[in-house]
Amino acid sequence: MPIRQGNQTMKIATIAAVVALFAAGSASASPVNLITNGDFESVAPGYTFSSGYHVVNGGSSAIGGWTVGASSVDLIRNAYNAIDGYSIDMLGTPGPGFLSQSFNVVAGQTYNLSFDMARNPGGPAGQGVAVNFGGVAGNFYSTAAASNTLYSNTLSFTAASTGLATLSFASAAKAGTSFDNYSGAVIDNVAVMAAVPEPETYAMLLAGLGLMGFLRRRKAAK
């Protein structure tokens, strides 16, 4: 019986050590963006320019890592006082526009999407994007102040199975907003990160393991 108790205590200690090492590794590891070219700075030869915009038609692979659908999107650079480098006007010339990319996921893991959005000042407030993130949908619309400011937006989903998930952006407009098919929402800095448990989660797990060890020792002492 004492040997069995000792084995159980050793198992608890081993699990606690593994949890502690995993927590330390998670805390020190840098998050990895699962999206390729989320800042849109990688473009095909012939699509590089210093300012203004370049139409990218549906079916083009000019924007590295991304698939362009629908009619077109506009690749813009250093525009609208909010954009540094390349970004995407989702309405194209003309729109509608659609942009998508697939990435690897693991079943049960939660993933967080973040992206910046501004408004083409040539269009009205209410221009935006319809996002589909691994099957989770979200609509994001610009405000009157958004023509010169990039606003951060977020969305999350938990993968049901291991394999590929898809992130897509489609040009959209809030109900009642005029849709001119040219002046849309502008997106940039797209990132998808696997969610990492907070340090408090590991602390609670370690505390629980410690309590289990204490109760076993107390029971053995009786």
The answer to the question of residue 47 being in a domain is no
* Pair 24, 101 in one domain: no
- Residue among 22, 25, 16 at smallest CA distance from 208: 16
Count structural domains, the chain: 2
Over the stretch 153-179, which tens digit does the pLDDT of each residue have? 999 999 999 999 999 999 999 988 877
* Res 216: pLDDT: 60
* Res 22: pLDDT: 43
* Res 199: pLDDT: 52
* Amino acid identity at 41: E
Residues 202-206: what's their mean pLDDT?
A: 44
* pTM recorded for the entire structure: 0.77
* Pair 118, 17 in one domain: no
Structure tokens at 90: 């989702």
The answer to the question of residue 15 being in a domain is yes
* Pair 110, 128 in one domain: yes
The answer to the question of residue 172 being in a domain is yes
* Pair 8, 94 in one domain: no
Query: Residue 179 sits in a domain of what CATH number?
Result: 2.60.120.260
Range of the domain at 205: 2-29+199-221
* Pair 109, 130 in one domain: yes
Specify the higher pLDDT residue, 124 or 132: 132
- Residue among 115, 96, 69, 76 at smallest CA distance from 173: 96
Over the stretch 65-91, which tens digit does the pLDDT of each residue have? 999 999 999 999 987 766 779 999 999
Structure tokens at 60: 């083009």
* Pair 103, 211 in one domain: no
* Pair 21, 120 in one domain: no
The answer to the question of residue 45 being in a domain is no
